[in-house]
């Protein structure tokens, strides 16, 4: 029997319907800003799948982001494939890389996994920077980077990023009620007890790791084509990881809509404050993040739940 959607899910479906037709009624700048929000919501949401549901703090998701960006560029420039085909293939390449890296790395626990993935990200950046000097197949352009073909318009990026954000959010909703999700939560709460109960924790984590890698890689490939230029120092930068982490924590770790709320809030706050306080806006944003962490540890999603419970006629 079909389950009735919750209030949050109903609001999300209504918001999605509005977002589908939104470009018809607004100008280029709001569309681009909204696309940036979708991009960061996807990245934060994909990171949240691992950290919020499986309890694995991955500090190296930029490996997938960078692999997706360079693989997409290679398929477009070397094989002359169209963008959508190239970006999906780039995601598949990232899944293969994630499977190879995750098979040994996901056996690490706690802080060791976090440190191990951070080390992988830094190693991937150095490999990408040195690739063209040692490998006969040029791919990354070294420190000079790679230029994509110029894109025709920006609307396609809006809808690709919207689809990615919706897909990652739907995956989080599915994890809340599926058998696979129950197993992940058991792993996240106590992996040793879950393993003793017969749960194959390594297989569960690896499946989620590979799936989240696809979303991050496709986002990286789309962002690279949108910007029309990538280089290894930027697409493998730890700053991308830290922004994912902050947005997921700010919105609410382990919640389906938390990353969307965190990405929306932080992107809009940065845009507003950055144009008015050019030299000080990072200090203000840092103070806001600290204040929310202290007074709303459950994130913006927790504040939204609290506000909804206080409304008349709601439980």
pLDDT of residue 8: 75
Query: Contact, 221 vs 21, CB < 8 A?
Result: no
Dihedral over Cα of 92, 231, 282, 275: its sign: negative
Among all chains, which residue has been given the structure tokens 């360079």? Answer: 70
Q: Which two tokens stand for residue 94?
A: 């990232």
168 with 46: CB under 8 angstroms? yes
Specify the pLDDT at position 172: 94
Which pLDDT does position 312 carry in this prediction?
A: 59
Q: What is the CA radius of gyration of the chain?
A: 20
Q: Estimate to the nearest angstrom the gap between the alpha carbon of 148 and the chain centroid.
A: 22
pTM of the model: 0.92
Q: What distance in Å separates the CA atoms of residue 222 and residue 91, rounded to the nearest whole number?
A: 10
Residues of the chain with pLDDT under 50: 1, 315
Structural domain boundaries in the chain = 28-238
Q: What is the reported pLDDT for 311?
A: 63
First to last CA, the chain: 24
H-assigned helices in the chain: 7-21, 28-48, 62-77, 83-105, 111-134, 155-177, 179-189, 191-196, 201-227, 232-235, 238-251, 258-276, 281-295, 299-309
Residue 179, pLDDT score: 86
Report CA 240 to chain centroid distance, whole Å. Answer: 10
Give backbone dihedrals phi and psi of 82, rounded to 5 degrees, phi first.
-65, 160
Q: Which two tokens stand for residue 235?
A: 């697409």
Per-residue pLDDT tens for 41-50? 999 999 999 9
Q: Would you call 147 helix, strand, or coil by DSSP? A: strand
Residue 146 contacts residue 90 (beta carbons within 8 Å): no
The CA distance from 187 to 201, in Å, is 6
């Amino acid at each position: 029997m079909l389950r009735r959607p919750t209030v949050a899910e109903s609001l999300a479906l209504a918001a999605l319907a509005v977002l589908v037709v939104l470009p018809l009624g607004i100008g280029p700048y709001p569309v681009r800003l909204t696309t940036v929000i979708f991009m960061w919501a996807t990245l934060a949401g994909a990171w949240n799948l691992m950290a919020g549901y499986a309890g694995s703090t991955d500090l190296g998701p930029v490996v997938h982001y960078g692999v997706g960006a360079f693989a997409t560029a290679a398929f477009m420039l070397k094989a002359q494939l169209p963008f959508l085909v190239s970006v999906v293939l780039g995601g598949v390449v990232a899944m293969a890389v994630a499977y190879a890296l995750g098979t040994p790395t996901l056996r690490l626990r706690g802080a060791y996994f976090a440190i191990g993935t951070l080390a992988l990200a830094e190693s991937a950046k150095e490999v990408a920077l040195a690739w063209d000097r040692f490998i006969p197949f040029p791919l990354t352009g070294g420190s000079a980077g790679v230029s994509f073909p110029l894109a025709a318009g920006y609307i396609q990026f809006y809808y690709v990023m919207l689809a990615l954000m919706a897909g990652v959010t739907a995956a989080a909703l599915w994890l809340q009620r599926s058998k696979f999700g129950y197993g992940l939560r058991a792993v996240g709460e106590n992996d040793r007890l879950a393993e003793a109960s017969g749960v194959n924790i390594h297989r569960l984590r690896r499946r989620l790791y590979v799936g989240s890698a696809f979303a991050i890689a496709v986002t990286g490939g789309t962002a690279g084509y949108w910007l029309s230029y990538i280089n290894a120092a930027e697409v493998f930068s730890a700053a991308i990881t830290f922004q994912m982490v902050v947005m997921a924590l700010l919105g609410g770790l382990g919640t389906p809509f938390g990353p969307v709320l965190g990405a929306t809030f932080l992107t809009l706050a940065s845009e507003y404050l950055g144009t008015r306080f050019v030299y000080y806006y990072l200090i203000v944003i840092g103070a806001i993040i600290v204040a929310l962490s202290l007074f709303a540890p459950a994130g913006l999603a927790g504040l939204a739940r609290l506000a909804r419970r206080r409304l008349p006629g709601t439980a």
